[in-house]
């Protein structure tokens, strides 16, 4: 029998479509403490060039399969201790390829509380159950009479038959093959139905798309599942898992249970009793069990997709174009408390701060412009970063007038998402980093810095506070955090970090460096001055050889002793570059950036037993453009003058906006009115769009047309298809051409709201935690009649409200 580890590696290799040796090498590296970014970038020969996406998948599957093996061992030990482990059962347990299958097999042997079946066995009724099951020619009541025993709690023949039925019901309900078959049938044929609870119509208006709704399990997108589950949790909706349209006979679920155990009505005395027992097993045990399983499956699938959406949006936001090392004036808008002002120099250092009061009630407009002009001139400011929260458009107008009145300053204004800014401002790190600044001013500093370098600033904030998630408060904290941490790690290492300017939170995300080492690096830098070479990192307290191996290639030292230290060439590969220099003559500095000379070199000439062709090719590419930033070039969007609030919008307007968040059902777009609009997935392109992220990403600047505006509900319907017809006379014209259909592109653009009823913008108002909510339904088709047996069973199991009618 193959070892569990080899089995795991073989299975992952098959799933990824790669060689087993590649997986084995990657597993050895991961187990040895290497990070995914390090393996993907510097161990290509070992893994056969597995990329970071493949390695992340491998890492997740490795974790799952190892947990499965641990559980398998525990199950085998448990069954063995009970003295019930046969060769056939052991083979079945070892062959289980999922956690669900393993638990199905273990169910009959799982220690449980004293059941009706157990009580019946203790009363000596198992022979009766076996006899009736094995010989349907026996008349049940007559056979049961022989088992009546008041001392054992069997008062009469009916009590004996009830006990026998309990034993057979448990046996039927714990058959692993049957459970597996019925689970898959219910998953492929069943559907989730939702109804509004009586009297909750007004209170739960945000869930109105689901007041009378049903959709097949396999068609339900993640946002609808999470919205309905939240509606149920908030007491607005009742949910029922319907197996399928009601059927009778062998093709029904009850018929399948009976057929599995050879039960059929052939006119024998015991046939009807056995059929009733099979029906009872389905309704009272199997259906409830599957209802719980499928709820978990729905939630897990929805969570996985929502985590994937969050991770993709976070990656796009972190890798947004940086404005670069340019002096920036940050404005954190406000009315009564004023607009907080912070000026940071090209390195992000705070050089000035102030508070201005241009808006109501103070209305010191001219004074505010004069102050800003003086600060901009004094500190040679090039950019104005304006937070997009309350009073943002009014402050944007102020900046526009500043630019018009002082063209000599050559200023550029940019609206910046301030999501998470107040979380940063009140954090322990902000207190340590900006101890002399008031919390309110720290927000302005963060806004300015995130324009200069979004990645460097946003890593200081918990990713869940950045506001690009979908229903994140309904997701598994462990699963979400693990995924988001991986995204941040990949982004930081993909871009590289200047070790002499990076903050501790940024350094903590570098491969091989945690929070403790990051603090030690900063402390060493403060005490001894900037690092002159990567080798200087070895002098940092507790930064040993392994940590150095993992982090050195991702840390940059600009203007240091060795020009290679400013590149992504790993120090271990410096000898390869020295051989290149020896071949071309001159110095390393003369080779770096020398495209003509580098093009003349053949990578194969420098391959040796340590460094293969992939690594040498990477080295040549890096030497051509050392320290290149993979992020796009910086550009800005321009909001339309005079369109500052939702009431200024009109159907048919064509505006420029910034994509703030992308969900499974469409994209949220900031068009400068304090309320993001939604471009439904059907309105993103003239061709079919399976995944909105294939068309737009957070940070993209797009032109949109306003289709419809619903001011009371603060809903703005947008389209990227500029020739789409907008709504007329206050009516709504769906982006997909008006046909409302379930689960397709063409239904009414759904809206996403957070748990408090506020439409979720994803990138606008400060510290939106990305909660999503009720919306997401593309229409409300009339559901088929609910399966009353299932409803009753789920009520008994506590899976639906007992008051549901």
* pLDDT for the residue numbered 265: 93
Q: 686 exposed, middle or buried (CB, 10 Å; 0-12, 13-18, 19+)?
A: exposed
pLDDT given at position 726: 84
pLDDT value at 676 more than 80: yes
Helix (H, G, I), strand (E, B) or coil at 82: coil
Does residue 591 surpass a pLDDT of 80? yes
Which tens digit of pLDDT belongs to each residue from 509-566? 999 999 999 999 999 999 999 999 999 999 999 999 999 999 999 999 999 999 999 9
What is the band of 3 on the pLDDT scale with cuts at 50, 70, 90?
Answer: very low
> Does the pLDDT at position 732 exceed 80?
no
- What residues contact residue 246 under an 8 Å CB cut-off, 6+ apart? 252, 785, 787
By residue count, the chain amounts to 805
Inter-axis angle of helices 365-378 and 392-405, nearest 10: 60
The vertex-144 CA angle with 138 and 149, nearest 5°, equals 160
d(CA 676, CA 681): 15
Contact between 410 and 402 under an 8 Å Cβ cutoff? The reply is no
Query: What pLDDT score was predicted for residue 477?
Result: 86
pLDDT of the residue at 468? 74
pLDDT of residue 250: 61
Tell me how far CA of residue 655 lies from CA of 237, 566, 702, 717, 759, in angstroms. 38, 42, 8, 13, 20
Domains identified in the chain and CATH numbers: 4-109 (1.10.10.650), 328-452 (3.30.420.140)
**Statement: residue 788 has pLDDT above 90:** no
Residue 749 has pLDDT above 50, yes or no: no
Distance CA(745)–CA(309), nearest Å, equals 18
Give tens-digit pLDDT for 645-669.
899 999 999 999 989 888 888 999 9
Question: With 50 as the cut, is the pLDDT of residue 769 above it?
Answer: no
Give the rounded percent of residues in the chain with a pLDDT score beyond 90.
Answer: 75
* pLDDT score for 361: 96
Alpha-carbon distances of 78 from 65, 81, 84, rounded to whole Å: 20, 5, 9
Q: In a 3-state reduction of DSSP, which class is residue 769?
A: coil
Q: What are the φ and ψ backbone dihedral angles of 664, each rounded to 5 degrees?
A: -65, -25
Tell me the pLDDT tens digit for each residue of 59-82. 999 999 999 999 999 999 999 999
Helices (H), 496-629: 504-507, 515-528, 545-551, 574-584, 588-591, 595-600, 613-624
Question: Which DSSP string do the residues of 285-318 spell out, in sequence order?
Answer: IIHHHHHHHHHHHHHHHHHHHHHHHHHHHHHHHH
Query: Smallest Cα–Cα separation from 59: which of 37, 40, 36?
Result: 36
Model confidence over 180-217: pLDDT tens digits? 999 999 999 999 999 999 999 999 999 999 999 999 99
Phi/psi of residue 655, each to 5°?
A: -130, 165
Which of 514-550 are b and which e, b meaning 16 or more Cβ less than 10 Å from the residue's Cβ? eeebbebbbebbeeeeebeebebbeebeebeeebbbb
Before 361, cis peptide (omega within 30)? yes
85-123 as b/e: b if 16+ CB within 10 A: beeebeeebeebeeeebbbbbbbbbeeeeeeebeebbeb
**Chain center to CA of 666:** 16
Output the average pLDDT for the chain.
88
pLDDT of residue 253: 92
Burial of 648 (0-12, 13-18, 19+ CB in 10 A): middle
Contacts of 450 by beta carbon, 8 Å cutoff, 6+ apart? 385, 416, 417, 457, 458
Residue 759 has pLDDT above 90, yes or no: no
Q: What is the predicted pLDDT for the residue at 248?
A: 58
DSSP for 149-173 reads BGGGTB-SHHHHHHHHHHHHHHHHH
- d(Cα 380, Cα 408) in Å, to the nearest integer? 11
- Enter the pTM of the model: 0.79
Listed as own residue / partner, the contacts of 430-435 with beta carbons closer than 8 Å and 24 or more positions apart are: 430/460, 433/503, 434/350
User: Number of C-alpha atoms within 13 angstroms, CB side, residue 570?
Assistant: 19
Q: Tens digits of per-residue pLDDT, 250-295?
A: 668 999 999 999 999 999 999 999 999 999 999 999 999 999 999 9
Quick: pLDDT tens for 630-639. Answer: 898 888 778 8
Nearest to 428 by CA among 538, 542, 519, 360: 519
Map residue 690 onto helix, strand or coil.
Answer: coil
Q: Which of 120-124, 194-198, 519-523, 743-747 has the least mean pLDDT? A: 743-747
Alpha carbon distance 471, 631 (integer Å): 28
CA pair distance 405, 412, nearest whole angstrom: 13
DSSP secondary structure letters along 496-511: -EETTT--HHHHTTST
Q: Distance (Å, rounded) from C-alpha 586 to C-alpha 188?
A: 68
Q: Tokens at residue 131, please?
A: 């006899």
Which three-class secondary structure state does DSSP give residue 627? coil
Selected residue with higher pLDDT from 200 and 799: 200
pLDDT category, 640, cuts 50, 70, 90? Answer: confident
Q: What is the CA radius of gyration of the chain?
A: 32
Long-range contacts of 121-126 (CB under 8 A, 24+ apart): 121/167, 122/152, 123/149, 123/152, 123/153, 123/154, 123/163, 124/149, 124/152, 125/154, 125/160, 125/163, 125/164, 125/167, 126/167
Q: Which of 164-173, 302-311, 312-321, 795-804 has the lowest mean pLDDT?
A: 795-804
**601-611 mean pLDDT:** 94
Least confident of 287-296, 376-385, 447-456, 793-802: 793-802
Tokens 């559901």 correspond to: 783
| pLDDT at residue 766 tops 70 | no
Q: Find how far residue 565's CA is from the centre of its chain.
A: 35
Alpha-carbon gap, residue 306 to 662, rounded angstroms: 11
What's the Cα-to-Cα distance from 618 to each of 41, 580, 625, rounded to whole Å?
9, 14, 11
pLDDT greater than 50 at residue 805: no
Residue 555 β-bridge partners? 497
Cβ neighbour number for residue 467 with a 10 Å cutoff? 30
From residue 451, alpha-carbon distances to 241, 379, 417 in Å are 48, 17, 9
pLDDT(114) > 70: yes
Give me 375's structure tokens: 């600060």
Integer Cα distance of 343 and 379 in angstroms:
8
- pLDDT-based confidence at residue 713 (cuts at 50, 70, 90): confident
Per DSSP, 284 falls in state I
Burial 183-210 (b: 16+ CB within 10 A, else e): beebbeebbbbbbbbeebeeebebbbbb
Q: Is the Cβ–Cβ distance between 241 and 790 less than 8 Å? A: yes
Strands 328-332 and 339-344: antiparallel
Q: Does 613 have pLDDT greater than 70?
A: yes
Q: Side by side, which strands form the sheet with 339-344?
A: 350-356, 339-344, 328-332, 383-387, 412-416
Lowest mean pLDDT among 152-156, 470-474, 551-555, 733-737: 733-737
Please name the residue that has the structure tokens 């769009």. 689
Residues with Cβ < 8 Å from 293, sequence gap 6 or more?
100, 183
Contact yes or no for 384/641 (Cβ under 8 A):
no
For the chain, give the percent of residues with pLDDT over 70: 89
Structure tokens that stand for 624 in this block: 């051509």
pLDDT of residue 482: 93
The mean pLDDT of 122-128, rounded to a whole number, is 97
pLDDT of residue 50: 97
Quickly state the pLDDT bin for 247 (edges 50, 70, 90). low
Q: CA-CA distance, 399 to 378, in Å (whole number)?
A: 17
């Amino acid at each position: 029998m193959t070892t569990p580890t080899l089995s795991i590696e073989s299975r992952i290799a098959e799933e990824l479509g790669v060689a087993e040796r590649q997986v084995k090498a990657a597993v050895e590296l991961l187990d040895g403490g290497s990070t995914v970014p390090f393996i993907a970038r510097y161990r290509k020969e070992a893994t056969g060039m597995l990329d970071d996406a493949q390695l992340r998948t491998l890492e997740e599957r490795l974790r799952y399969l190892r947990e499965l093996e641990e559980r398998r061992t525990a199950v085998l030990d448990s069954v063995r201790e009970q003295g019930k482990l046969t060769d056939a059962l052991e083979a079945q347990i070892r062959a289980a390829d999922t956690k669900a299958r393993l638990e199905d097999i273990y169910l009959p042997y799982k220690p449980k509380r004293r059941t009706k079946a157990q009580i019946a066995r203790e009363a000596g009724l198992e022979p009766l159950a076996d006899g009736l099951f094995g010989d349907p020619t026996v008349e049940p009541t007559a056979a049961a009479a022989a088992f009546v025993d008041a001392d054992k709690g069997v008062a009469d023949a009916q009590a004996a038959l009830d006990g026998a039925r309990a034993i057979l019901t448990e046996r039927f309900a714990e058959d692993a093959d049957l459970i597996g078959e019925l689970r898959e049938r219910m998953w492929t044929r069943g559907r989730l139905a939702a109804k509004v609870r009586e009297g909750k119509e007004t209170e739960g208006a945000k869930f109105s798309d689901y007041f009378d709704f049903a959709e097949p399990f396999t068609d339900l997108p993640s946002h609808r599942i999470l919205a309905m589950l939240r509606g149920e949790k908030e007491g607005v909706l009742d949910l029922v898992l319907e197996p399928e349209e009601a059927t009778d006979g062998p093709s029904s679920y009850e018929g399948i249970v009976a057929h599995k155990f050879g039960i059929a009505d052939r006119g024998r005395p015991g046939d009807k009793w056995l059929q009733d027992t099979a029906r009872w097993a389905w309704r009272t045990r199997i259906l409830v069990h599957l209802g719980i399983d499928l709820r978990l499956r729905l939630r897990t699938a929805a969570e996985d997709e929502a985590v994937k959406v969050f991770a993709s949006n976070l990656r796009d936001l972190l890798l947004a174009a940086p404005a670069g090392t340019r002096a920036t004036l940050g404005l954190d808008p406000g009315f009564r408390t004023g607009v907080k002002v912070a000026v940071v120099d090209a390195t992000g250092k705070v050089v000035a701060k102030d508070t201005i009061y241009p808006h109501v009630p103070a209305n010191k407009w001219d004074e505010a412009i004069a102050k800003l002009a003086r600060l901009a001139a004094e500190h040679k400011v090039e950019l104005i970063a304006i937070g997009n929260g309350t009073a943002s458009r009014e402050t944007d107008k102020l900046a526009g007038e500043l630019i018009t009145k002082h063209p000599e300053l050559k200023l550029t204004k940019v609206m910046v998402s301030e999501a998470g800014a107040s979380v940063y401002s009140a954090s322990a790190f902000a207190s340590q980093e900006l101890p002399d600044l008031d919390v309110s001013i720290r927000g302005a500093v963060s806004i300015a810095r995130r324009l200069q370098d979004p990645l460097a600033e946003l890593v200081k904030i918990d990713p869940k506070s950045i506001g690009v998630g979908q229903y994140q408060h309904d997701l598994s904290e462990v699963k979400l955090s693990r995924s988001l941490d991986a995204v941040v790690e990949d982004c930081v290492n993909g871009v590289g970090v200047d070790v002499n300017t990076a903050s501790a939170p940024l350094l903590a995300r570098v491969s091989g460096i945690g929070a403790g080492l990051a603090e030690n690096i900063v402390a060493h830098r403060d005490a001894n001055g900037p690092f002159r070479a990567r080798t200087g990192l070895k002098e940092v307290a507790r930064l040993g050889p392994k940590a150095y191996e993992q982090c050195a290639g991702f840390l940059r030292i600009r203007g240091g002793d060795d020009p290679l230290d400013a590149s992504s060439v790993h120090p271990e590969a410096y000898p390869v570059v020295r051989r290149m220099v020896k071949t071309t003559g001159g110095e390393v500095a003369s080779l770096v950036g020398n495209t003509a000379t580098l093009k003349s070199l053949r990578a194969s000439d420098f391959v040796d037993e340590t460094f293969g062709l992939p690594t040498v090719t990477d080295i040549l590419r890096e030497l051509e453009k050392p320290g290149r930033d993979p992020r796009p070039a910086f550009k800005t969007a321009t909001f339309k003058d005079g369109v500052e609030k939702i009431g200024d919008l009109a159907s048919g307007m064509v505006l420029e906006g910034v994509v703030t968040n992308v969900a499974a059902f469409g994209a949220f777009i900031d068009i400068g009115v304090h309320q993001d609009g939604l471009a439904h997935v059907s309105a993103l392109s003239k061709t079919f769009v399976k995944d909105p992220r294939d068309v737009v990403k957070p940070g993209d600047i797009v032109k949109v047309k306003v289709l419809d505006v619903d001011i009371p509900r603060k809903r703005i319907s947008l389209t990227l298809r500029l020739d789409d017809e907008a709504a007329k006379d206050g009516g709504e014209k769906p982006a997909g051409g008006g046909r409302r259909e379930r689960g397709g592109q063409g239904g009414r653009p759904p809206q996403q709201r957070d748990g408090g009823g506020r439409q979720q913008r994803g990138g606008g108002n400060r510290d939106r935690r990305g909660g999503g909510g009720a919306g997401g339904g593309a229409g409300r088709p009339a559901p088929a009649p609910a399966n009353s047996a299932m409803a009753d069973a789920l009520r008994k199991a506590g899976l639906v409200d007992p008051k549901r009618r």
